[in-house]
Structure 1
Amino acid sequence: MPHSPAPDQAFSAAERDAVYRAIFERRDMRHFAGGEVAPEVMRRLLTAAHHAPSVGFMQPWRFLRVASPALRRGLQALVEQERVQTGRALGPREDAFMHLKVEGLMDAAEVWVVALADGRERHVFGRRTLPQMDLASTACAIQNLWLAARAEGLGMGWVSMFDPAAVASLLGMPAGAEPIALLCIGPVPHFYEEPMLQQQRWAQRCALDNMLFEDAWGQPLGQCETVAG
């Protein structure tokens, strides 16, 4: 029996363009303009994050708001310690690296710490051979939040320079919980025209075609011979 045509489930052209605009204009922000994020807006961002896909529907993400200026300073000190160590590890690029701005913890309207929840090991579905799927799932939640923030006209920066154990201790996390991101969120003076590290000539986006393979690693997409059945 022939199949009936699938219904058109695409968004309207304007809706589709808005999704792609958020993707292409999202930036990892380091410069913030203070201000505040209205509670209802922050709730929308967190709701978007919480609707991310997760392997085995484990929902391994936890979000902790850092409202205390003292705790923010504590986080900033931990980031600074790691920034110095990272600079030393970069050898000849240390000087260039130390001139980069890597966080906006004291300037952003909101600071949230994203952590992998304790007890994740009980989730076996999709993790038996790939336990890192908890991290992959939480990264999806962060990306959802990032895109929603851009749509709301807010900047967000993901800070990852810190010792996870030190951050966990500072914030009283239980054993097994693992912080993976310090998120700076809030109004910004402007969004970077291109990624900040590209503006600073630290790195450039790779060509997409160099990352696409077909049937075997390193075999370019679209250059495989089709075998007739």
Structure 2
Amino acid sequence: MSDESADPEAEREPELESVSPEQPTTPSPTSPPQPPTKGDDGPGWMPAILAATALMGIAGFVFCGFSTWLLFQKRTEFAIRTLRDAYIPELEQSLLEPDEKQLVIKQVTRLVDEMQRGKYENWQSAGILQRLQRLPVIQWGELYAVDAAATKNASPEVAAETSKQLSRLRRSVEVGKTTSFDFEDVLTPVYIADSTRPGGHRLQQPIDVDAIIDVVQRARLVADREKVPDESFSNARIEAIVREQINAGVADGGF
């Protein structure tokens, strides 16, 4: 019995499969990780902030309105304090003629007493105070000092012109056109700074003639502006002007 020949396929060594090197693979693009989504938080604190701001604005408006109303209700009290604590002491230190000074102080003191007794309404008290503050009562006495200095130290021509122009300036007050602000400007050349005085200045002593001439020029300009005739006027009485302005304040209030 002959040996069976081996199967040639079985005896054939298996061929090694060629393994090709791995090809580089391109990673597929991936989207960045997304944060976890949150739910809708709503409008947050904004409505509350807006509401609080609106309420604060309303409260401020109400407070300002109340404060204004309160101040208007105290106008008489304010006028009393101003006249008693500031205006009358300044009158006492003024350069008014002694008889004029006493008459004006007497009028203002009586006015304060009447305000304290409730004779005037708030609008009347405020109007009277405004009119008195606009009157050049303090400066009225300073004009006397300038006029006297011109008579004493200046030439007769300068003294005569000074007297005429200052009388025109007083006349402009008498007809109700010129105020204390105008007088302050006219008298500026003869003022020197003094922090101890209510107005922050006082008259220079002695008064320089050149400064007097400057005052006269300024007085002429104011009188011309108010169309006061270029002539001398008899001296107006300041106490009469004060009384007239008090009566006007009682009837019509302020300006």
Larger Rg, first or second structure (1 or 2): 2
Question: 1 or 2, which has the higher helix percentage?
Answer: 2
Global fold match (TM > 0.5): no
Q: TM-score range by the shorter chain?
A: under 0.3
Structure 2 length-normalised TM: 0.22
Question: 1 or 2, which has the higher strand percentage?
Answer: 1
Structure 1 length-normalised TM: 0.24
